């Protein structure tokens, strides 16, 4: 069979969340074939199919704006909640 997944994550190490990064991986049969990284600001393809899709997604300003907005709307919002929970316990 075939295995497809999408793995999205937020990574940060500072208490003020100034270094937060959003990564959105598209995975087929355990190999990442395309990735959006908020530090890079665009999609990068790692296979022939991934490069093709990265070009399509990077030429669509709506998709890029939506992915770039994830840092604020998803990552910082949830990281702030996590950070407060951690600091309240210490």
Residue 25 pLDDT greater than 60, yes or no: yes
Element holding 33 (H helix, E strand): strand 31-37
| Degrees to nearest 5, angle at CA 79 with 4 and 33 | 20
How many structural domains is the chain composed of? 1
Task: Over range 3-26, report the average pLDDT.
Answer: 93
Report whether 22 contacts 71 (CB < 8 A).
yes
pTM: 0.86
- pLDDT of 67: 95
Instruction: For residue 46, give its domain range.
Output: 4-87
- Higher-scoring residue by pLDDT: 44, 14: 44
Residue 24 pLDDT greater than 80, yes or no: yes
- Higher-scoring residue by pLDDT: 50, 18: 50
- pLDDT of 14: 85
């Amino acid at each position: 069979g075939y295995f497809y997944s999408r793995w999205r994550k937020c990574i940060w190490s500072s208490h003020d969340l100034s270094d937060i990064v959003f990564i959105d991986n598209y995975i087929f049969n355990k190999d990442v074939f395309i990735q959006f990284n908020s530090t890079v600001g665009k999609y990068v393809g790692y296979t022939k199919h991934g490069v093709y899709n990265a070009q399509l997604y990077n030429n669509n300003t709506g998709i890029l704006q939506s992915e770039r907005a994830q840092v604020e709307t998803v990552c910082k919002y949830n990281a702030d909640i996590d950070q407060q929970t951690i600091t309240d316990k210490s």
